[in-house]
A and B are shown apart, each in its own frame.
Chain A
Amino acid sequence: MYISRFMAKEPLTATADMKLPEARRLLNENRFRHLPVVDGQGQMLGMITDRDLRSAYPSSVLSEGERIAAYERIKNTTVADIMSVDCVGLTPQSTLDDALLLLDRMKVGALPVLDEGQVVGIFSSRDLLTAYKELFGVGEKGSVLLGIEDDGEKGLLTRIVNLLEQHDIPFTRLLRFRDVENGDRIYLRLNTYKIASVINLLREAGIRPAL
């Protein structure tokens, strides 16, 4: 599954010569944490985050005089002075797996999405959560997750799917999960309320429901 369905498209951007107070205003007003920095042609130059800005701003423990002096300097500091330039990006063809692995490895909250160097979107860890929530059907009204013991029987998945389809039982996810500690499981997301009859059907076929 590609990230382009879930990314924020046409994100707000900063320019390299933008002064820090303006960048901070943009982030605060829009409640963003990441702002890609682009040139006049929309080409990615770097990234500036709320954390970069917080570090640039004076600490509240400084004396008033020191703070005023620091604010004066900040007014004249440009985004280019503090942005990260060695940032990695995704592309519209990146998959959710790409994004998951990259967000995890880079330990960042969001990544720019680039199409031939042009910033076309931002993909955040929140977007990833939304995507996986949808993918797994978490919180989907009218569904229930049923666990099944997986004893390694050959053709078990086929038997389960055939049984459900023959009896017109709607289901939308089927997941096989290796769990050395607690025993392997198969998880089914059923989209029906007639759970008791599904459990009976499985039991009659020698298939064991489990948590």
Chain B
Amino acid sequence: MPLPPKLTLISDSRFLDHDTGIDHPELPARLQLILNNLEQSEYYSSLGFHGTRPAERKWLIAAHDEGWLFRFEEAVLSGKTSVDHSDNQICYESYDVATLSAGAGLTGVDLLEQGTARQVFCLVRPPGHHAERNRPFGFCFFNNCVVAARYWQQQYGRQRILVFDFDAHHGNGIQSAFEREADTLYISIHEHPSFSYPGTGYKDETGFEEGRGSILNLPLSPGAGDEQLLALLHGPVEEKIAQWQPDAMIVAAGFDGHRADEMSGLLYSTGVYEKVGQGVRALSNKYCGGRLLSMLEGGYELTVLGESVEAYVRGLLAE
């Protein structure tokens, strides 16, 4: 049997059907651009591709209240254009597409565990890291990373799941899912919450009760760039992972910290994402047997999003 490709991408044209209307930053063109850029890259032929599947209700409920599922589905079917807040734009297809988006992580975990993928990157939308157990937030409906983490734990017995998040915004939904339990770890590097959406992710939020120490927030001041990001990645992030010993690693990969992206005040370059890709690949190889699943989160500046993701992928491939 030939070796699986060095990286398997999971995506689906149906992700484009989640229509957020006009003047919304989380738009289908994001994903089209990313895929076009990858197609033109020199390593395109070495990538594997796989479709997604709808996440089964059982796994959505592992991360969300069933009431929220009903509410979301009802909003979509009744023709509403947003749910809970005007940020969370929806169309008739949005519930199904969000289910497919969450399903990509499940498919990815299956491929990794069956040995038919060496590492996985889910190119999905809608994104997930702001979604809370019972409500949507910041363009996110189902928390794709949390759904994948629950699946990895319960379906394959990988108990100690790490989610590392380098999106410019704090993943409040992942934090609230993990902050009271010992078996999961959330590490996030993001713009300081005093200046940035969603206003959570302060350094002193470290978890409660059994989950004390299961949250590591590393906020950066506005104006921080590549140097500060890499110093955190190779310093406190690796230290925490080395000490915590995960069984598997999920990366919430957001690209809105780019200096051209006005959704944050961070000043990352395109090139830094290659180093981040290399860094997370090396961490997964060193600490959790290479079990690495990346999940697309934010990134809204269309002139640089494609090249940023491409740089990250190049980094993931550089083993």
Contact = CB atoms under 8 A, between A and B. Distances in A.
A145 B24 CA distance: 20
Contacts, number: 66
B196 A141 contact: no
Contacts of B86: 168, 170, 192
Contacts of B269: none
Interface string A171-197: 000000000000000000001111111
B152 interface: no
Nearest to A200: B262
Contacts of B195: 144-145, 211
A141 B86 CA distance: 15
Contacts of A152: none
A199 interface: yes
A193 B262 contact: no
B134 interface: no
A140 interface: yes
Nearest to B84: A142
Contact of B23 (A137, A145, A197): A197
Contact of A196 (B87, B193, B194, B300): B300
Contacts of A140: 199
B200 A211 contact: no
Contacts of B199: 137-145
A195 B263 CA distance: 6
B277 interface: no
Given A141-B137, A142-B137, A196 B263 contact: yes
Interface residues of A, number: 21
A194 B25 contact: yes
Nearest to B265: A211
Given A142-B85, A200-B262, A195 B222 contact: no
Nearest to B197: A144
B172 A141 contact: yes
Nearest to A143: B199
A197 B198 contact: no
Contacts of A144: 195-199
Contact of A197 (B25, B193, B197, B265): B25
Contacts of B172: 141
Contacts of A138: 199
A142 B263 contact: no
Closest 3 CB pairs of A and B: A196-B262, A193-B138, A144-B197
20 contacts: A139-B200, A141-B137, A141-B198, A141-B200, A142-B198, A143-B198, A144-B196, A144-B197, A191-B85, A193-B87, A193-B137, A193-B139, A193-B169, A193-B198, A194-B25, A195-B262, A196-B262, A197-B23, A199-B262, A211-B265
Interface of A: 137-145, 168, 170, 191-197, 199-200, 211
Interface of B: 23-25, 85-87, 130, 132, 137-139, 169, 172, 193-200, 202, 222, 261-263, 265, 300
Given A141-B172, A211-B265, 12 more contacts: A139-B193, A141-B132, A141-B137, A141-B200, A142-B199, A144-B196, A144-B198, A170-B86, A193-B138, A193-B169, A193-B198, A211-B222
